[in-house]
A = this chain, B = another copy of it.
């Protein structure tokens, strides 16, 4: 099991508040110590930060928490290795380009006997089932829209992805976050929760560390965003649990498409251990924090 965090926001927003709690799961409030990564879709382009150290002890994670980056889409992942050695090549999120768009993908789960027919359009660099699934998803999209001259919109992509999800999820839990910067595509096999925030923004309290923040001071009236995470990051907010077989698409900070596949099953997952709250400081001066 790994931990996923995603954001889709109407206005470019900072993920620092959520990431501060989330990073604690990389070795502190949960035992996911096999590296972490985060990809940002900023107004001028994308960038990712990857590290093979535990997120809770990573100087790079400290840097990311302190660096004010505003994005419309973010995907982050904290790894607990099931397949593939610990190392940068197996660290999520993975990235590939299609139709001049950078795509990022992060996965939580364990796919068994998964040998998709990869045609060479995209091949894994590392040795995880996750990257193999990402390459196959991208190959399926490339094939399905081979005659298109431009990147299709989420309206066209979503049904194609939902069909792939059903197929891949037969091999194991396939909880994932995928984005091309236009929309955040989400699939749930076993565990994911989402939260929409909009005016009036609450005062939020992280569950992984002793930190709260008045999000109303930091966000404007028209702002709205969706946070998706393996487990809720805050207490006292209206987190929605996704169901096994759900494919959801978020764009402009709201749910825009949903599909439920009743045939998808949830595979057994090893238990997770919690080890207490951590007191953490975070500057409240950066607006649009979520």
Chain A interface (Cβ within 8 Å of chain B)?
42-52, 59-60, 63, 67, 85-91, 95-97, 99-102, 120-126
Contact = CB atoms under 8 A, between A and B. Distances in A.
Given A60-B67, A67-B60, A96-B97, A88 B125 contact: no
Listed from nearest, the 7 A-B pairs whose CB atoms lie closest are A45-B88, A44-B87, A45-B89, A100-B123, A47-B50, A44-B88, A63-B63
A8 to B, nearest CB: 19
Task: Give this chain's copy count.
Answer: 2
B96 A125 contact: no
Contact of A88 (B47, B63, B100, B121): B47
Given A44-B86, A100-B124, 16 more contacts: A44-B89, A45-B52, A45-B87, A45-B91, A46-B88, A46-B89, A47-B48, A48-B48, A63-B63, A96-B97, A97-B122, A97-B123, A97-B125, A99-B120, A100-B123, A101-B125
A120 B147 CA distance: 11
A87 B47 CA distance: 11
B123 A45 contact: no
Contacts of A86: 44
